[in-house]
Chains A and B, each alone.
Chain A
Amino acid sequence: MLNDTSTLSRRRFAAGLALGTVAFALPMRAAALTVDQARSLIDKAVGDINAVIGSGKSESAMIGDFERIFAKYADVPVIARSALGPAAKQASKAQMSAFTKAFQGYISRKYGRRFREFIGGTIEVTDAKPVKSYYEVISIARLKGEAPFDLRWHVSDKSGSLRFFNLIIEGVNMLASERAEIGAMLDKHKGDVDALTAALKNT
């Protein structure tokens, strides 16, 4: 009898081990899959950006293109909410959607203008890896007459689809920078989200 149980438990142990390995392997495979997806998302985004940089269009046309790229690949609602900070809690749904729309235009103009300096340059994705609860896709920007610089994209699928939610340029965190900036603008408008939204449209 004693022998039987031990056989059973050994068998159970083996089965458990096998199951455990499968259970362990599955998320590993899923993670590997998503890292590849995150990388290919940024590959596509970078391809679109490079096409705009090389298009030779006017600045306003380029900014329009960047807004479409930003809306397509970035998790704009979550970036906007995060930039707005604690005030997002008190804002109504309508206020949030108006703010998000204005924020999207503001970011596209601000960064789209900066991308003009990228004309003649290219961005190349070099690596991707899971970090904590998100994926970091690493790219290198090579600009004419400049030392190459490091551009990192933070990607998550928490919105339901894979999107980037932050950009790190030579260590400078875009989300942190926009939190400081939007926070300062909100202070200037005495905490009035509608006034901030109106101001963003002209910034």
Chain B
Amino acid sequence: MQLAIPSLSMPMTRKFVPSVLLCCLVGAGFCGCSRTVDPMATRDPLEPFNRQVHAFNRSVDEFVLRPMAVSAKGNGELAERISDFSANLGKPADIVNNVLQLRLVKAGENVLRFGMNTVFGVGGLFDVATAAGMPENDTDFGETLHVWGFGEGAYLEVPFIGPSTTRDLAGSLVDLAIDPLNHLNRDQVRGATVARLASRIGDRGRYSELVDSVLYESADSYAQARLLYLQNRRYKLGQTADEGNFVDPYEDPYAE
């Protein structure tokens, strides 16, 4: 879990998969196959629509997510157990993606991590792998698409989910479909979904000050959330060369 980009969102439930799929198809599809991108560039042709979704998501946060996170606060130990458990549940899907990306070392590390945490971490309740110094190697099908050469597409703010791109949203949908956890029985799948939802509430509490400062203290929370998501996502995918992140205030102080 990284500090810089918190989840401003809730996990996807299967119910609104059709609606997000529609958004995705309606929205500008994939474009280009550029490997490195200008970290400052923003492709947001759906901005008016996205801003409405943002206002909706902000209300969801204000009236549902944030109050739940605040009332759950003080249960730090419980929140951490849920967070570790939920993260461990995500590992089988990560391993599938690592293999699809042909990143076999990371796949191996994730197999080891999943095994360690499941066996020695009491079914994943304790993250013993991180304590032992193993890397986290989180990934998703959006990253797999990136590895396969797809560009990020257009920026999207998705209801209940938050900042994304057309590529990353498509990736989330595929992740739902290919998750090995789907082969568990119905009650287990339901349990996993509850754990993930609870984990998101915990994350909202854990990063409360950062999320609050972006959502409620910014002059333009939409623009801040977009910049934070896109720049952090590109960084995590290794798309930003060092010099790419350079803003030169000396040469061109008046540049937009």
Contact = CB atoms under 8 A, between A and B. Distances in A.
Interface string B3-15: 1110000000000
Q: Which of B1, B234, B246 has the most CB of A within 10 A?
A: B246
A86 B2 contact: no
Given A86-B256, A145-B80, A176-B40, A171 B245 contact: yes
Nearest to A141: B3
Contacts of B217: 203
B242 interface: yes
A149 interface: yes
B236 interface: yes
Nearest to B247: A175
A88 B253 contact: yes
A179 B254 CA distance: 11
Contacts of A133: 248, 250-251
B218 to A, nearest CB: 6
Interface residues of B, number: 40
Interface stretch (B94-102, B193-201, B220-228): B220-228
If over half of A's interface residues share one DSSP class (helix, strand or loop), that class is named, otherwise mixed; here it is: mixed
A10 interface: no
B2 A149 contact: yes
B240 interface: yes
Q: Which of A110, A143, A170, A187 has the most CB of B within 10 A?
A: A170
Interface residues of A, number: 49
A62 to B, nearest CB: 14
A175 to B, nearest CB: 5
Contacts of B246: 131-132, 134, 154, 166
A114 B217 CA distance: 13
A172 B232 contact: yes
B231 interface: yes
B227 A136 contact: no
A179 B255 CA distance: 10
Given A175-B247, A179-B247, 6 more contacts: A78-B253, A81-B253, A143-B3, A170-B2, A171-B39, A171-B231
Leading 4 A-B pairs by shortest Cβ distance: A171-B235, A82-B249, A184-B220, A170-B4
Interface of A: 75, 78-79, 81-82, 85-86, 88-89, 110, 113-114, 116-117, 131-134, 136, 143, 145-147, 149-150, 152, 154, 156, 158-159, 165-166, 168-173, 175-177, 179-181, 184-185, 187-188, 203
Interface of B: 1-5, 39-40, 80, 130, 136, 209-210, 213, 217-220, 223-224, 227-228, 231-232, 234-236, 240, 242-243, 245-251, 253-256
